[in-house]
């Protein structure tokens, strides 16, 4: 499986200007991202890390088109735990520069940055005319994962949003007292789902 | 330093983008028949290894203003790629093909078409007033939304009238026994036989079934008939189309009949099993369980694999019991059991799609007065309660309760009975969770 990684820019900086210090993960949360439908299907996996790095605390959020529990696109070619449409959509949004991570600060949004993109084939299923099933991968190399990092966060509660074409689609709330840390991941559909899935760790 | 970090990040973001492949149509493109242009387009994008090739084609067709082919792409493959080009070109086909996509089973196609229509409200309301016959199905809600917003109708005289699905789809879905092959390298159709039907035309119409949505029984019956066609590509695409319908529309009974037909060719039985596994009919998992136990069934491997993917621990209880005394069965089902265990560990059965499926099956067995119904009900309740936190389960319950009654694979009194049974089960589950909430 072909995978290309774009390196973390802050690590490049660290490598060139100061001794390498790996960020410390303070807390991790995971959740499946639901599409905005009446019966929402999980179409992506979200992992959020609160990391301490160089005296700052930042939120790092990865949105993935592959992961246990992700439902495939309908049809024979889709295979569970990966969603080709999600990967294509991530690709399209990246190419258009239409995805952005922001942290809400009062009435203003503070921009985060895209720090990693993983590309590669997605698992797929091939079904021939005789009805034989075989595991394969997508022909095209797609975006499997994207990772964003917030600006340094205050020692308080803050909310970060993944904006897709200007519309918030994902919210991660950070509860940071300085001693204890909490993360809440929330899918944001349109229209709003009847309830909100909140995963706290 | 901060500025440098920002610059580096920007550079890396740019490098993360993949430019669209370059597509340039031949100079004589406009002189080629529409059918030839379609076949050339499909031959170029089908199985392409280049990412974004279909997108690049749409943009190139927009550049040369080939609105006819763009319309076909939006009619049969969906709005997503061709639609924005039709909007950009202000094509007279734009409104009618966006309206066509309002019922698209692919939510991306449906929502992006609706967005395009709402960006030109006066033009769209004017078109709807001019063509009242087009106001049906999901278009009714759009018209009401525009009227409610006090939109002033502003019809565009050049906009084309609506498509009739009976003319766009049905003639091609009623395929003759013999289908011709089209030469994709041809620039015209000099040798085309009068009244000939080509295999790609039938496949294209199958795409149109999904893009148009609103598939009624008559359309689905025609797709089922195509699963018996002599052309293997048409057969395969017909089965695939059935598997891509919304779960409640997948024709469970017709597909189960093929799966159980010992006289049917093995390929049809396997493909029917795979399509059937996309159904939300409460008997679906029982079919998979039965086939997975049958070492002589041609679709056994497919049934085992699908059980792991769409099954649940309650449905496979009989299989687990049988496997304890059959090493062969245990081996055949190891991957499926492992997958179910992983899904259970990850609490995926607390999520609404799996929960709805389990509750419907328990309610259905109760309605059918099956002897196993009490055991299924007890095991389902136990599994659900152990699958998530009260908050997670409450979220899933709310979603299950919001499923409209017409999104059921059952009809009439049976659908009502299962809905009522599910409501009772949810009530019971909420009562069981109440002490934890306190």
From the list B349, B24, B20, B140, the residue with the least C-alpha distance to A91 is B20
Q: How many Å lie between the alpha carbon of B270 and the closest alpha carbon of chain A?
A: 5
Q: What is the pLDDT of residue B310?
A: 95
The verdict on a CB contact (< 8 Å) between A68 and B399 is no
In chain B, residues with a C-beta closer than 8 Å to the C-beta of A32 are 351
Q: How many Å lie between the alpha carbon of B34 and the closest alpha carbon of chain A?
A: 28
Q: Which of B12, B243, B346 sits opposite A6 (nearest CB)?
A: B12
Instruction: Name the more confident of B16 and A170.
Output: A170
**Res. B183: pLDDT tops 70:** yes
The verdict on a CB contact (< 8 Å) between B1 and A32 is no
How does pLDDT run across A95-108, given as a tens digit for each residue? Answer: 889 999 999 877 78
How does pLDDT run across B261-272, given as a tens digit for each residue? Answer: 999 999 999 999
Q: What is the pLDDT of residue B341?
A: 96
Q: Both tokens of residue B231?
A: 């052309």
Helices B53-63 & B67-76 angle (0-180, nearest 10): 150
**Res. B114: pLDDT tops 60:** yes
Grade residue B52 by pLDDT with cuts at 50, 70 and 90.
confident
Q: What is the pLDDT of residue A55?
A: 86
Q: What is the mean pLDDT of chain B?
A: 92
The verdict on a CB contact (< 8 Å) between A9 and B8 is yes
Q: What is the pLDDT of residue B214?
A: 87
**Res. A2: pLDDT tops 60:** no
Q: What is the pLDDT of residue B23?
A: 94
**B183-195 mean pLDDT:** 60
Q: Which of A35, A76, A129 sits opposite B107 (nearest CB)?
A: A35
The verdict on a CB contact (< 8 Å) between B12 and A42 is no
Mutate to test the interface with B, among A131, A169, A190 (most CBs of B within 10 A): A131
Region of poorest pLDDT, from B29-33, B151-155, B281-285: B29-33
Q: What is the pLDDT of residue B398?
A: 93
Q: Which of A71, A74, A198 sits opposite B244 (nearest CB)?
A: A74
Using alpha carbons only, give the angle A147, A153, A156 rounded to the nearest 5 degrees: 130
Grade residue A13 by pLDDT with cuts at 50, 70 and 90.
very low
Domain ranges of chain B: 33-42+51-160, 347-438
Neighbours of B295 (CB within 10 A): 10
**Res. B12: pLDDT tops 80:** no
Q: How many Å lie between the alpha carbon of A172 and the closest alpha carbon of chain B?
A: 17
Region of poorest pLDDT, from A1-15, B204-218, B245-259, B420-434: A1-15
- Assign residue B85 a region: left if phi > 0, alpha if psi is -120 to 50, beta otherwise? alpha
The verdict on a CB contact (< 8 Å) between B232 and A129 is yes
**Res. B163: pLDDT tops 90:** yes
The verdict on a CB contact (< 8 Å) between B302 and A133 is yes
**Res. B151: pLDDT tops 80:** yes
Q: How many Å lie between the alpha carbon of A173 and the closest alpha carbon of chain B?
A: 17
DSSP alpha helix (H) spans, B244-351: 252-259, 266-276, 284-292, 300-310, 317-324, 327-345
Q: What is the mean pLDDT of chain A?
A: 83
Domain ranges of chain A: 4-200
Helices B284-292 & B317-324 angle (0-180, nearest 10): 10
CB pairs under 8 A between A and B: 140
Q: What is the pLDDT of residue A5?
A: 34
The verdict on a CB contact (< 8 Å) between A113 and B13 is yes
In chain B, residues with a C-beta closer than 8 Å to the C-beta of A76 are 239-240, 243, 274
**Res. A12: pLDDT tops 70:** no
The verdict on a CB contact (< 8 Å) between A76 and B8 is no
Closest chain A residue to the Cα of B19, Cα to Cα: A95
In chain B, residues with a C-beta closer than 8 Å to the C-beta of A128 are 236
Closest chain A residue to the Cα of B304, Cα to Cα: A133
From the list B260, B224, B229, the residue with the least C-alpha distance to B242 is B224
B197 HSE (CA, 13 A, CB side): 18
**A116-130 mean pLDDT:** 92
**Res. A16: pLDDT tops 90:** no
With beta carbons less than 8 A apart as the criterion, state whether B348 and B354 touch.
yes
CA distances from A180 to A155, A156, A157, A201 (A): 10, 10, 11, 11
The verdict on a CB contact (< 8 Å) between B278 and A74 is yes
Q: What is the pLDDT of residue B405?
A: 86
Task: Classify residue A130 by burial, with Cβ atoms within 10 Å: 0-12, 13-18, 19+.
Answer: middle
As a whole-number percent, the residues of chain A with pLDDT over 90 amount to 57
CA–CA separation, A136 and B252 (whole Å): 27
Mutate to test the interface with B, among A129, A146, A166 (most CBs of B within 10 A): A129
Grade residue A47 by pLDDT with cuts at 50, 70 and 90.
very high
In chain A, residues with a C-beta closer than 8 Å to the C-beta of B57 are none
Q: What is the pLDDT of residue B323?
A: 96
B186 HSE (CA, 13 A, CB side): 14
Strand-pair partners of A45: A32, A64
């Amino acid at each position: 499986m072909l995978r290309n990684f774009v390196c973390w820019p802050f690590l490049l900086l660290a490598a060139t200007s100061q001794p390498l210090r790996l960020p410390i993960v303070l807390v991790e949360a995971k959740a499946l991202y639901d599409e905005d439908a009446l019966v929402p299907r999980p179409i992506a996996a979200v992992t959020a890390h609160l990391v301490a790095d160089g005296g700052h605390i930042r939120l790092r959020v990865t949105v993935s088109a592959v992961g246990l529990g992700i439902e495939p696109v309908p049809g024979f070619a889709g295979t569970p735990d990966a969603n080709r449409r999600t990967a294509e959509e991530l690709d399209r949004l990246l190419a258009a520069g239409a995805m952005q991570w922001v942290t809400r600060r009062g009435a203003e949004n503070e921009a985060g940055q895209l720090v990693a993109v993983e590309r590669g084939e997605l698992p797929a299923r091939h079904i021939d005319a005789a009805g034989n099933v075989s595991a394969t991968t997508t022909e095209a190399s797609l975006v499997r994962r994207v990772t964003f990092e917030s600006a340094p966060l205050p020692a308080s509660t803050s909310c970060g949003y993944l904006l897709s074409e200007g519309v918030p689609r994902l919210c991660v709330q950070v509860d940071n007292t300085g001693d204890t840390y909490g993360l809440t991941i929330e899918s944001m559909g349109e229209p709003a789902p009847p309830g909100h899935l909140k995963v706290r760790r | 330093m901060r500025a440098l970090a920002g610059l580096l990040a920007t550079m890396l973001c740019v490098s993360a983008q993949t430019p669209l492949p370059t597509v340039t149509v031949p100079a004589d493109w406009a002189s080629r028949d529409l059918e030839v242009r379609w076949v050339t387009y499909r031959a170029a994008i089908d199985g392409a290894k280049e990412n974004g090739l279909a997108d690049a084609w749409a943009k190139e067709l927009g550049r040369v203003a080939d609105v006819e082919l763009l319309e076909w792409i939006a009619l049969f493959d969906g709005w997503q790629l061709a639609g924005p080009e039709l909007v950009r070109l202000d094509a007279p086909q734009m409104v009618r093909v966006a309206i066509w996509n309002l019922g698209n089973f692919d939510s991306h196609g449906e929502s992006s078409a609706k967005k395009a229509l709402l960006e030109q409200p006066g033009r769209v309301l004017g078109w709807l007033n001019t063509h009242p016959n087009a106001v049906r199905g999901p278009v009714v809600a759009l018209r009401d939304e525009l009227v409610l917003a006090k939109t002033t109708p502003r019809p565009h005289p050049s906009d084309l009238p609506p498509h009739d699905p009976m003319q766009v789809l049905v003639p091609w879905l009623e395929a003759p026994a013999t289908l011709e092959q089209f030469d994709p390298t041809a620039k015209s159709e000099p040798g085309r036989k009068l009244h000939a039907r080509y295999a790609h035309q039938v496949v294209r119409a199958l795409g149109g079934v999904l893009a148009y949505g609103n598939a009624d029984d008559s359309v689905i019956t025609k797709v089922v008939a195509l699963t018996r066609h002599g052309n293997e590509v048409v057969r395969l695409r017909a089965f695939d189309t059935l598997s891509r319908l919304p779960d409640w529309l997948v024709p469970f009974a017709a597909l189960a009949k093929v799966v159980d037909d010992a006289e049917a060719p093995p390929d049809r039985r396997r493909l029917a099993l795979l399509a059937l596994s996309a159904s939300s009919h409460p008997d679906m998992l029982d079919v998979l369980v039965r086939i997975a136990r049958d070492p002589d069934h041609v679709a056994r491997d497919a049934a085992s694999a699908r059980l792991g993917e769409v099954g649940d621990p309650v449905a496979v209880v009989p299989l687990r019991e049988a496997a304890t005394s059959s090493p062969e069965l245990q081996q055949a089902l190891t991957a499926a059991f492992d997958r179910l265990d992983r899904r259970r560990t990850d609490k995926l059965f607390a999520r609404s799609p799996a929960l709805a499926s389990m509750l419907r099956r328990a309610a259905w067995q109760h309605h059918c007065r099956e002897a196993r119904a009490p055991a299924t009900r007890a095991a389902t309740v136990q599994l659900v309660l152990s699958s998530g936190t009260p908050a997670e389960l409450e979220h899933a319950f709310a979603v299950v309760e919001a499923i409209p009654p017409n999104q059921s694979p059952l009809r009439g009194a049976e659908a009502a009975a299962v809905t009522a049974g599910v409501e009772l089960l949810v009530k019971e589950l909420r009562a069981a969770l109440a002490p934890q909430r306190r």
